[in-house]
Structure 1
Amino acid sequence: MRHSLMGQYILRRLLQAIPLLIIITVIVFFLLKSAGDPLAELSLDPRITESDRLLKRAEYGVDDPLPIQFVHWLIGDDWYVRELELPASDTTFVAPNLCYGQEIPEGERVTLTLPNGTEQVTLIKNNQCYRVFYQRNDNKGILRGDFGMSLARGRPVLEVMGQALPNTLLLGITSYLVIIVFAFSLGIFQAIRQYSFFDNVITTISFILVSMPIFLVALISVYIFAVQFRKWGLPYLPVQGMYSVNTDYSVGDLIRHMILPVFCLAAISVAGYSRFVRASMLEVINSDYIRTARSKGLGERRITYVHALKNASLPLVTLMGLDIPFILAGAVVTERIFSWPGMGTLYIESLGRLDYTVVIAFVLMLAIAVVIFQLITDVLYAVLDPRVRYS
């Protein structure tokens, strides 16, 4: 019966997430589109002809009305034909690149496939211009698993993100494991030794870290562990990229490059979570059933790690589960400072270049991650606490 209710609950939550994702997508799409023309810089390059510029704008559909662009982003535009005119003065571009030097007779319609095989272009030469009917064959839309082409890089969005995502996952998962180990260890240690010297020291450091923005933690870490350690003649840590230049890309070199980014991502979260663990442990340790367990002669270690920790961790499950996507998103600043080639660096670069296809895909991925981890958190919470009812 309980498993049936769990299945119904998961299905209900997934259905509720669909309109939420649609709303997020619409808002982000129109906000980014209102930021400016991503292909405006083409008009500043004297090497690009008017025909080049017009065909590139037709390729990405940036001159279509915003609602039409949104529909094309959802379901693709491989069925849509755009009509434009190219000046005949640019025949040096039209002839070699579109029809391999062939002269198009006056008024004759010629249908061509571009060299990459992704677009169909129909040309009609008329007086001093070419009338072009342009249709793409490769843009299927996100509902068919196609997130389009990166405007800045000229490659599929999924391919661009696929190169950066593993690097961010490596950094994020490692940071999260460090957070779990140190947050629970420090929180339990502080709760057992409440108001001791070590408890006060850890509390002070935690308050300092929680009050600091992540970029400040990163800059201080670079100054101490890279700049000053090098001045003092101590082994210093690298601060740029994933590997050193002219190396064999060893695992040891990768770990050295990960130390500072992982520390910056984990430090603030460890400080905050350890305070929650401490407070929850103190509340549970002083409860009646723990005193009963002590009166029965159970060992202090068994009481702490078997009876107290399970109940004390319940509030942390929700908090940490919801923070997982934002720990990955928080890598945006850290990756930028340490030149880590992950999703954060890709996001900042794409935002600066108005590469809205990549930015929207990043935001949509983050929204989906929030929905999934929130659902996992709710299910895990119910597993740990049988009192929770799915109905």
Structure 2
Amino acid sequence: MLTYILRRTLMMIPVVLVISVIVFWIIQLPPGDYVSSHVMELQKEGEQLSAAEQDALRERYGLDQPWYAQYLAWIWGILTRGDLGYSFAYSQPVLAVVERYMATTLIVAVASMVFTYVVAIPIGVYSAVKQYSVGDYVFTTVGFLGMATPNFLLAIILMYLSYIWFGNPMLGLQSPEYAAQGWSPARVLDMLRHLVIPVVVIGTASTCELIRVMRGQMLDEMTKQHVLTARAKGVKESTNLRKYSLRAALNPIVSTIGWSLTAIFTGSTITAIVLNLPTQGPVMLDALMAQDMYLAGAWLGFMAILTVIGTLISDILLAWLDPRIRDERRARA
């Protein structure tokens, strides 16, 4: 297993480099650059920049170079100095912008992911075991509604209900009175209260989808021959479900971890705007619109790395869950 993990980790390096090239190239595809976007913003305010001033800005930011030269300078700075570049829109290093929003982004994303799996797996198992029961019909109906309801609409509904019931729409991740204070039990409790709506909104679609997947997989595994044989031999039903049906049914759930986390990152952008969340979604959107290539490239590269790491974690968990995968890998080795 250790050799497998090491080999997969080494394979991640060229994959991430190739992804970074593609990401940087795609960011450069729209016509113009940050200076063009900046000039348009100034024109809206009644200010003008001459052609010479625009050329001077491009030379200052290195935008007068071909995209591949800009990429090589950027990636060399990352590899040698850990420098992610300079954010033109924020007028500060990209690393400073990333550090400002990274903690809250990870908190929301991880909490949403935990909510998704903790809720989806038990409900999916219940719906399969109690097929066509009242509970199954209720969860099926709720699941279809959850997948069909846009995140931003659900966010607005929950904000309205929160305001009606508690007098607070729960915007952001903390109340204004705690913004300038240090961390304390009261501030942590306040953040947990504000996390409820974002986690429910962001995690609902994925949760409802995984419920359907888990239910279908459990129904399929419960009719397999080895499960029926174990039941005929008198194995307890709970042991039969846990040891045989559940472990096999978890395979497609576990295999989605790699892209689920990234989907939560990208899918939370509109929700973050509606709920005024200090996360990376709105920042990345602004960076793409302003053609702030180094900031956008850093965020997109980070999500690519998350996808690759998540895929590695999925493969390791699959090998641990399913002995057939372990045996197949040993046979290839």
Listed as ranges, the gaps of 5+ residues in structure 1 are: 76-139
1:159-178 correspondence runs (5 A): 159-178=96-115
Matched, 1:27 2:28: no
Q: CA deviation at 1:346?
A: 1.4
Q: CA deviation at 1:365?
A: 1.0
Decide which structure has greater helix share: 2
| SS state at 1:171 partner | helix
1:120-199 correspondence runs (5 A): 140=77, 144-199=81-136
Higher gyration radius (CA): 1
For the 8 Å contact 2:119–2:207, the answer to whether it is kept is: yes
1:333-348 correspondence runs (5 A): 333-348=270-285
2:212 to 275, 278, 293: 275
Q: CA deviation at 1:41?
A: 5.0
State the distance in 2 between where 1:147 and 1:340 align.
24
Per-residue CA deviation, residues 111-169 of structure 1 (Å, 9 max, x unaligned), is xxxxxxxxxxxxxxxxxxxxxxxxxxxxx356642111110111110110111011011
Q: CA deviation at 1:246?
A: 2.3
Q: What is aligned with 2:173?
A: 242
Q: CA deviation at 1:281?
A: 0.9
Listed as ranges, the gaps of 5+ residues in structure 2 are: none
State the distance in 2 between where 1:32 and 1:362 align.
18
State the distance in 2 between where 1:383 and 1:60 align.
49
| SS state at 1:304 partner | helix
State the distance in 1 between where 2:168 and 2:237 align.
41
State the distance in 1 between where 2:104 and 2:88 align.
22
State the distance in 2 between where 1:275 and 1:216 align.
22
1:258 to 195, 200, 203: 195
Structure scoring higher RCO (CA < 8 A, sep ≥ 6) equals 2
Q: CA deviation at 1:68?
A: 3.5
State the distance in 2 between where 1:71 and 1:7 align.
27
TM-score, structure 1 normalization: 0.73
Q: What is aligned with 1:63?
A: 64
State the distance in 1 between where 2:158 and 2:198 align.
9
Distance 1:6 1:46, change over 3 A: closer
- Letter paired with 1:335: A
Decide which structure has greater strand share: 1
Identity across the alignment (%): 27
Per-residue CA deviation, residues 222-250 of structure 1 (Å, 9 max, x unaligned), is 23x234xx2xxx32553311111224661
- Letter paired with 1:40: V
State the distance in 2 between where 1:174 and 1:297 align.
40
Q: CA deviation at 1:54?
A: 6.2
